[in-house]
Amino acid sequence: MASSTSAYLRGIRAALPFLLVVVPFGMLFGVVGTEAGLNLTQVMGFSVVIIAGAAQFTAVQLMQEQAPTVIVLVSALAVNLRMAMYAASLAPHLGPAPGWQRVLIAYFNVDGTYALSHMEYETHPDLSLSDKVSFYMGTATVICFPWYLASWTGAVLGAAIPASLSLDFAVPIAFMSFFAPALRTLAHVAAAGTAIVLAITLQWVPYSLWILLAGAGGMIVGAEVERRMAQ
Amino acid sequence: MTGWSDATIWVVIVALGIGTFVIRFSFLGLLGSRELPEWALRHLRYTAVAILPALVTPMVLWPAATGGQTDPARLIAALLALAVGYWTQNAIATIATGLAALFGLQALGL
């Protein structure tokens, strides 16, 4: 038990720097959501029920553009597909945990909790299962709960911001901060470049389907470049 | 929100909540520790760096705030943010650069 407590505290400590990202992003979502016309309960619905920043911004953006509901759902879920990879990568470590714990782990699976926990499990492969779960919950405590609070704060502040002071540019810049730091290899750059070119050339495709086509094209090119580089 | 009833907004929230949970639970809960095939993992690695740039591109090139007209200030600010994000690998630096550049360029009258 003592060991699990210290693993939990280590998770908290490891995640503290992420507050610098989580708090501004959460507030930004609250402000942007409110400016888009969501009420406080709906903003909190997004941040508590979905708890995935990039997907939340995607959904709100497409709803503002009057995209069909199905396109809003599929596009936002496509943004979250990377989490299937996170789940697959956590499974060897956390798969043996009891069912209710795996439900909580899945709910809290965001970029930060995944990245920190996976790094911890790789550097300390001898950790017990309960230590691994405790560390993960420590990171979730610092990353996920402030996300709710920051969204709420942003929504309350956002209602006071005049619409004339348009924050539209904050959305593409927030997206850019999600992917630009992730462009680590030639394959990442090729995937992003392909997606950008396809996004420009496929604008004529109806129902905002160009998003999925450009995304799929980028993924295929990225995967193919990685495969060839590995040979 | 214009064009969206409260009920439809909640349908979007709940459907995205369920869908996102299914994605997160997938290989952790349903499939146990069974491994994904390598080709699937290889494609999943590029979801974020493909979908997000695709979404951003029209917002930068044809911003709704300018009625879809390309705005040099927004375009330059976005390219600077992209470059800083790429070189520093720092999310906050990316945002700070983009917003500072936009406000700076607008102050200069661009």
ipTM: 0.86
Q: Are residues A18 and A46 in the same domain?
A: yes
The CA distance from B23 to B14, in Å, is 14
Cβ-contact B73, B102 below 8 angstroms: yes
Say if the Cβ atoms of B44 and A85 lie within 8 Å.
yes
Final residue of a structural domain among A137, A165, A193 = A165
The CA distance from B59 to B64, in Å, is 7
In a domain, A172, yes or no: no
Q: Are residues A35 and A138 in the same domain?
A: yes
What are the tokens at B18? Answer: 């369920």
Q: Are residues A137 and A216 in the same domain?
A: no
Q: Are residues A65 and A92 in the same domain?
A: yes
Q: Are residues A155 and A215 in the same domain?
A: no
What pLDDT does B33 receive? Answer: 55
Q: Are residues A110 and A194 in the same domain?
A: no
Say if the Cβ atoms of A85 and B8 lie within 8 Å.
no
The CA distance from A3 to A46, in Å, is 35
Query: B9 CB near a chain A CB, below 8 Å?
Result: yes
Residue with the two structure tokens 């929100």:
B1
- Report the chain B residue with the minimal C-alpha distance to residue A48: B17
The CA distance from A174 to A189, in Å, is 18
What pLDDT does A156 receive? Answer: 94
Domain that includes residue A207, residue range: 183-231
* Probe site for chain A from B33, B51, B90 (most A CB atoms < 10 A): B51
B2: Cβ contacts below 8 Å, ≥ 6 apart: A37, A64, A66
Say if the Cβ atoms of B46 and A188 lie within 8 Å.
yes
Residue with the two structure tokens 């580089």:
A229
The 3-state DSSP class for residue A110 equals: coil
Say if the Cβ atoms of B50 and A214 lie within 8 Å.
yes
In a domain, A175, yes or no: no
Cβ under 8 Å to A: B residues 61-90:
61, 63-65, 74, 77-78, 81-82, 84-86, 88-90
Question: How do the domains of chain B map onto residue ranges?
Answer: 1-34, 48-110
DSSP B35: P
Residues of chain A below pLDDT 70: 1-2, 162-167
The 3-state DSSP class for residue B108 equals: coil
Say if the Cβ atoms of A177 and B16 lie within 8 Å.
no
Residues of chain B below pLDDT 50: none
In a domain, A35, yes or no: yes
In a domain, A176, yes or no: no
Final residue of a structural domain among A116, A137, A165 = A165
Number of domains composing chain A: 2
In a domain, A60, yes or no: yes
What pLDDT does A1 receive? Answer: 47
In a domain, A171, yes or no: no
Q: Are residues A51 and A142 in the same domain?
A: yes
In a domain, A225, yes or no: yes
Q: Are residues A54 and A138 in the same domain?
A: yes
Q: Are residues A84 and A189 in the same domain?
A: no
In a domain, A56, yes or no: yes
Cβ-contact A70, B12 below 8 angstroms: no
Q: Are residues A224 and A154 in the same domain?
A: no
What pLDDT does A135 receive? Answer: 97
Q: Are residues A161 and A199 in the same domain?
A: no
Q: Are residues A68 and A141 in the same domain?
A: yes
